Structures are given as C-alpha cells and as structure tokens.
Chain A
Amino acid sequence: MNGAKASSVRFATAVFVSPYDSCCARLVKGSTTIVKAILVGALPLMFAGCTTLKLPPFEPMPLDAYANRQTKEGLTIGLRPLTDPKECMKYFGTDLSAKRVLAVDVSAFNAGPASYVLARDKCSLQGPILAAAGSRVLGSEHAGGTLTGVGGGVFLLSPVAGVALFGVGVKEGSDATVINESYRDKELQVHTLSPSGAVRGCLYFRLPQTGTLPDRCRLHLEVVELKTKAVTTFDFEIQSH
C-alpha cells in the first residue's frame, strides 16, 4: 500500500513539479516512471518466457500395468487411452481432449517365436466416430508471429511492454515447435516385432468436432505374421474421452 502511494506521489512529482524543466523533459521523466512501473509488472512475464517448454518421454510401464491388454500367439498388446487432461499437459503440452484428439498409448511385446508387423494403417477406432488424426494438429508453428509483431509495435509506445510482448511471442512460437515435435516423436511407427521384441507409441484419433462423444468405443488392431502373412486381430473396448 505504501509502495503504491509512494509511486503515485513520485509520478505526480515528475510531471507537475520542477518548474525549470522543459516541457519535454517533464514528459520524459514521467515516461521513465511509467516505464519502471511497467518493468516491475512485466518482469515475471519476461522471466516466465525465458525457459523452453520441456515435455518428457513416457515413463517406462510394464505391460502388466496396462488394464486393457490381450495376448494372442505369444504377442501381448496393452493400451491406455490418455484422457486425463493433466497427463496430456505433462506429455504433450496441451489438453488433447479439448482439441478433440484421442491419444492411445500402445505397448506390445512378442514372446512368441514368429515375427510380426503391427501396421498403423490397420488400426481403427470403431463406433459413431472417426478418422485417424494427421500429424501437426496441435500447436501451430505460426503461433508467436503475431505477438512478436505486436510486441515490436508496442515497443514504439512503451519499450518495456514491447520487449515483454516480443518475448511472449517468441515463447509461444518456441512452445509450438516443441509441442509438435513431441507429438510426432511419441507417435507409434511401423516396426517389425521380432521374438523378444517390444514397441511402444501413441496412436492418435481425431474425434468429431461437434456433438456429444460416446463414453466408450472399440479400438481395432491388426498384426501380420511376416512369414505366413496370417492376420491376428485385437479388439479393445476403451474410454473415448
């Protein structure tokens, strides 16, 4: 309270006292006080903007820990829909469900003697839904460009506020690249599951943009045995949001 009072007194002094200062000088002195006030307000914003967003890889998780799992022909597949916004924020830097994207953490281990391929294009979410989500659906890499520009513009009026906005713009752009990179890095890719081989990654499904989502849906996976070309199917009932 005292600080605020002192600040306002100093501001008044700068503008209205000093009869021998030129009008311009008075204006500048007033401006520097305003700048200091803005600086104090902008500092947390500027410091917050100085760190790069860190998104960790998935923590190791044994297949037994997956509540949803099946074993066929020696091949065990476990999966876990990532519907908790906090968990999504931790690993993806954004709430996927708010963007109507369902991420499913898929883990597989081959304890059998044959080799398999888990083909991504054979994976589908069945129900009154859906199509596989494409890459780069999360952060926009254009993010930050506008704010950076606005920051430059505001700099003309107030240097500190301008620098702060410029920093926020750069931060936003940096975050977008980190989010996109992490999203694609965690995506399940095509692998041969050799005997004793394991794979893990996320399948992404775009949910309908409007309307009420069903609580549960069916996830269909197909695995092809390399030598015989025999197809083994896995169907899971999962929570969709």
Chain B
Amino acid sequence: MKTRHYCAFSRRAILLSATSLAVSLMTNGGVLATPAKAEAMLSMHIEEQTSWVRNFNPFDLAGRRQSTMDFIYEPLVIFNADDGGKPIFRLATSYKFSDDLKSITYVLRDGVKWSDGQPLTSADVKYTLELMLKNPATDTVGVGETVASVEAPSPSEVKINLKDVNTEFPESLADFPVVPEHVWKDVADPVAFKNENPVGSGPMTEIRRFTPQVYEQCRNPNYWDAASLRVDCLKLPQISGNDQMLALLPEGTMDWIGSFLPQIDKTFVTLDPKNNGYWQPPAETVAFQMNLKTGNAANAQAFNDLNFRRAFSLAMDRASMVDVAGFGYPVASQHASGLPPRFEAWRNKAAEGAADEWMAYDVGKANKVLDDAGYKKGADNFRTTPDGQPIAFTIIIPNGWTDWIDDAQIAAEGLRAAGLNVSVATPEYEQWQKQLLEGSFDVALNSRADGSTPFRGYYQSMSTAFGGRITSAATRYSNPKLDETFNAYRKATSDEERRKLFDEIQVIVADDMPMVPVFNGPTWYQYSTKRFTGWVTDKEPVMNPENHDNNRMRLVHLLRLKPVQ
C-alpha cells in the first residue's frame, strides 16, 4: 500500500513537472510569440467636472468635452504665440489673400482621411462654414460677422469671401472645427447633438471607453500624421476640483495636468523629484477694470477721469499681490500698456517712460494727484467728485478665487489710504460674469483672453465694437482714435505695417490707461516624465504648454511626446 502510494505520487510528480517544463519551454521559446508592445496611455486632466457627460459636439461650447478640439478635430492652421505668431499648417498647407484682400483661399492637404476612412475635402470645410452661417447657435468662431460666403473651386481648395477687408481673419479661424458633411448632414439639431461616437480628423478620435468617472480617447486609425504620433491613448479621469487633484497626486498616475497647486514645490515636486516638473509662464493680463458706463453718476464721473485712473494705479501694491496673494506665481505688470510678457517681441519702448511712472506703488503721490484734480474729502473723510458728490464703489471678485480676493483686499487697502471709499464683494462666479456682461458693477478684477498675437487681446477688450458684449470687454471703453487704429490694423497687408500700428496702439493705451493692469497670471501646467518625455519646459520655451481648451498649440505638444522605453 505504502509503496503504491509512493509510486503513484512520484509518477504524478514526474508527469506534472514534465508538462510544466514543456509549457515553460513553449512560452519562453521566444521565437514563436513576440511580446506585444505596451500601449502608450497618457493620463491627463483638462477640466473639472463632477461627472463626465458623453458630448463631443464641437459646436456646443458649454457642453463639449474639452478634449474635442485639436484631438478629435484637426485645425486648418494654428499660430504659435511664443514664436511671433508663426503659422503651423495642419489640415491646410497654405492660404493666400486675393489682391483686393476681400477673399482668402486655403489649400487643403492631400490624402487626409476622416477616422471612418472617407476622404476629407473642401466640401467638408464649405459645409461647416455654411452651417455656422445658417445657424448662429453653432457659430463658435464668429464667422457670422466676418464671412460673406464660401466656395469650393476644387476638392482641395476653399475660397472664403469676406464681408470686409480683414487681414486678421486666418488667426480667428484657428478655432474653427471642420466636421464631416457625410455625418452632420443627417443631424437634425447640430447644437443638441451629443456626437457620442465622433468621426474626426485629429490624432485621438476613437472613444474606447466612457464612464462617468473616466474616459479613454484613442488613436485615429486613419490619422494623416500618424508618423509623428507616439501616444496611443488619452485617459481622462473625472476630477471635481483642486482639492481632489491634490489628493490624487501622491498616487503618481497623472502625466499632463493644469491645476492651481499651492506651494507647488512641496505639494507636487517633492512627491517624485526626478519626474515631476512644472512651468508656469506668465499668461493673460489681469487688470482692475472700471465700468466706464456705470449707473452711479459720481463713480462714472471719477472713472472717466484719467487723473483718477492714474491715482488708482498708484495705490496698487503689485509686489504684495504677486508674492503674498499669488504665492509668487504671477508676474507683476510693469508697463501701463499692459502688454503680456509672452509678446515681448512686440514691445514698443516708446510707450513706456512717462506712462510707466503711474505703475509705481506710491500712495503719497496718489493722494497728491487726487488733491490736485479736485477730489476733496467730504464730511466722512472720503473723497468726493470735484462738484461734491460722494464716491463709493465695490470691487467684485468671483467667490472662492482666494488669490484674487486677496489681491482685491490689498488693492482696497491702498485705495482707502488714498482716501477712497472702497469695499470688496464676492458674488458667485456666474453672478460675477453676469454683472460684467450686464454692466451692473463698478469695479472688477478681470483678465482678458489673448490670441496668437497681442492684437486680439487689445481689440476685443478695448474696442467700441466689443464693449459689453463679452466678459473681457467689461470696461465698455470707447476711444475713436483707438478704434481707427484697430481698423487700420485689420486692413494692414504687411508685418511692418502691423508692427507700426501696434506700436501706436500701445502708446494710446499706455497714455489713456483704460484699465489698471496689475499682473500676468500664471499658465497652469504641470507634467511628469515617469511615462513620457518630450515635454515643453522653461529650458525649452517653444510654445504655450498648457493642455486647456483655449490653447491650440496643445496639439503640437502632444506630437512631441514619446513613451519612456
């Protein structure tokens, strides 16, 4: 009995070991099976939401996922603000204005296919433009105001006829999404359509997985520039706020993020000093914007007086705003023109000098300027207008924006030291925006969006045409001379002419100080080299590195990345 048991055991053992040996030989043979290449998955965080909704409709500005533009829909031409606004041709290979400058022809790249295999032709571009012209609700770019009609003389040429001479047009078309006619012509309501399974021309068009907590957007099987693309998938986990981001960082799972991380060296870099990095170059100009058309007559009188605005500027302690309120991230404004540092190449030194004296922090001088201009102190020891009406205003800041709230408090302290009756209020963000659009506020701290050249920021915030229609144009500033210069710029035909006109714009703005610039906010950009390399850093400052929806260069940034082997 014992012997049999022993034999059986040993026989089983031999059989087992023989089989396992054979199996291991087969799998470790090496010749038969090549190991599958690991998929390059990039985890990124672009927008804060409490739950993902499957919406990739490029015409739904409010509802679309912020990985729709650039990654699903390839742009025609984009411009690099950090490289003097140089064009980078994507779907188009060139564009040319006609001799009378009232039409522009784009030449499309050959051989581009949609992600479902159909060819991308001028018919698609024509269709999309006409859709926007017919249906203003889909017009995310503003072509309704600039484009008269569009023609497709050949499958690779698109001729756009403009309503008026406008040499700025190519820059404004950078945000234009070309959609496939063969899909969208059957869509009943192009704004309500969720576009859950998009057909696109960009690098990442396939929605492989979508849950309310995470979605994966993967490689376009027919991408025209597949040779440059080394990332296979984008993974976007749902993150509801900065606090959640901070809690997630120690796990080391994120590659490309754009959040406000206080004390970033301590909260981010120390988690993985070899790989975690950031670059937060100064971005848009943040300024105190006075509502020049406010309903309060005394305030309106004061705000429209250049002396008052200059005194306001002298009471601003910009250094404290940057170091104390902003954790040292922003860069204080030094020039009255408010030119963002990224457009250093456009700087007109002639606009500085005397105008920049008003950018110093000198409460004593502020008091003197107000005294000389006739703003006497009333019975309550607060200043009144020269004809005796009391001046009192509130600075509004969005609720929860703690750094801006602190900036406003610092400003209020300075203004009170100059004898002005100032308070700070923090309505909810939606209410703050509403007050800016309605003009029912006195003073607000506000930023203005930049384009790929500095022109757009100035034009959209200080022209009469835009006054009060968008949030950047809250001051409702109206200066006929400036409007004239803006219009001349839009008709300019050469770079030298544009340079000259923009020099003039800087002089006008510096001298008249329509708003009081205080600092340039940081670009929110953090990265990790754990899984990918090729990141844009301060040592290689070639483009705007952020992954947010306002930055078209994020497409080029993606194509630079390659997985760590």
Q: Do A and B come from one complex?
A: no
